[in-house]
Chain A
């Protein structure tokens, strides 16, 4: 069972990176990378690292790739899509949304219907991680916050400049 999950996830991961090499569309490349990073998050979960998995999906597949997509949208603006493609996309969006809702409901069913005895058992590892982060690696952690601040200021200084000023 674990092997099946591992094989599916690693196939998705490697396959989408390979598709990125062969595709010529930058926006498609970014979306392939989102798929790759999400499946990598699943692999992190297989390695008993639930926090790293969550951060991978939230920060990498979420935040960083959205940044990439914004940058790509600044570069190549195309004309509007034909109406037929638009309709197909709407249908696809509705279908995928329904699937997502069903998944979330299925996952939340246990929490809502309650069996309070079966609380979250995993978390001991995350607690250990937090302990490390705020004791042995405290300096590194604080320096990281400084690094993010420097990156923010640097990005504003670089890209915030108006043309000609």
Chain B
């Protein structure tokens, strides 16, 4: 049997990789994918806890997280498509109108 600690370590590594990808990458789409990676790391931790505590509530939370992630992806991609239509680019380096 695999101890929950192994899953927690994996979730932590995955989350850190997501944060890294978010800061390293320069285009909006890949940064958005990095956010999805972070959400998934959270899901993995929730499921590992659900298993180790023997409760099904963790799985319920995971379902909600996946639903919210789907809604978030739809809105986020719509916004990115809008940005691309207006600016013809999704590189964050070229989108700095809000810089003070």
* A residues lining the B interface (CB < 8 Å): 2-3, 6, 10, 13-14, 17-18, 20-21, 26, 29-30, 33, 36-37, 40, 43-44, 46-49, 51-52, 55-56, 59-60, 63-64, 67-68, 71-72, 74-75, 125, 128-129, 132-133, 137, 140, 144, 147-148, 150-152, 154-155, 158-159, 163
Contact = CB atoms under 8 A, between A and B. Distances in A.
5 contacts: A2-B2, A20-B30, A140-B64, A154-B74, A163-B85
Interface of B: 1-2, 6-7, 10, 13-14, 17-18, 20-21, 24-25, 27, 29-30, 32-34, 36-37, 40, 43-44, 47-48, 50-51, 56-57, 59-60, 62-64, 66-75, 77-82, 84-85, 90
Contacts of B14: 13-14, 17
Given A71-B81, A125-B59, A154-B74, 6 more contacts: A20-B21, A47-B51, A56-B43, A137-B60, A144-B67, A158-B78
B60 A129 contact: yes
B36 A33 contact: yes
**A-B CB proximity, top 4 nearest:** A151-B71, A159-B78, A158-B78, A155-B78
Given A21-B25, A154-B75, A49 B20 contact: no
A72 B90 CA distance: 10
Among B24, B51, B77, B79, the one with the most A-chain Cβ atoms within 10 Å of its Cβ is B77
Contacts, number: 154
B2 A3 contact: yes
A125 B10 CA distance: 24
Nearest to B56: A128
A159 B63 contact: no
B48 A47 contact: yes
A13 to B, nearest CB: 7
Given A37-B40, A151-B71, A155-B75, A26 B30 contact: yes
A8 to B, nearest CB: 12
Given A21-B21, A55-B66, A159-B82, A43 B44 contact: yes
Contacts of A55: 63, 66
Given A6-B2, A29-B30, A125 B74 contact: no
A91 B84 CA distance: 35
